[in-house]
Amino acid sequence: MSEASKPDEVDAVDDEVVAALARLRADIDAVDREILAALNRRARLVREVGRVKQGGRRSPVYVASRERDLVAALVAANPGPFRAGSGAAAVSRRDSGGSSRSFAGSG
């Protein structure tokens, strides 16, 4: 292989890398939109739970043990790559009472 052909080969590899990164970033953007849609769907459901509870006055809107059980179930179901307690898998939500809460797989 001559010295003159090396820059063309490097350019071809660079183009492949750029194209691969563009595809991966587009996939990440699509997943981000799916996550956002799922979080918004969840928030609407949580809000509805709050409305039902407030209307029935049979149980408190916020139940700490329910949140604890939910987090434990999420941690147990998490295949990775985030480790429990890493903070990377934190999920913020607004409970039906209007206060802001966040929880993470901290076990």
Distance CA 97, CA 77 (A): 27
Task: Tell me the pLDDT band of 91, cut-offs 50, 70 and 90.
Answer: low
Q: Which two tokens stand for residue 15?
A: 């183009």
Containing H/E element for 94? strand 91-94
Task: Tell me the pLDDT band of 85, cut-offs 50, 70 and 90.
Answer: low
Per-residue model confidence (pLDDT) at position 69: 92
Distance CA 25, CA 18 (A): 10
Distance CA 3, CA 46 (A): 64
Distance CA 4, CA 25 (A): 33
Whether the full predicted model's pTM is greater than 0.85, yes or no, is no
Mean pLDDT along residues 38-45: 96
Domains in the chain (CATH in brackets) are 3-103 (1.20.59.10)
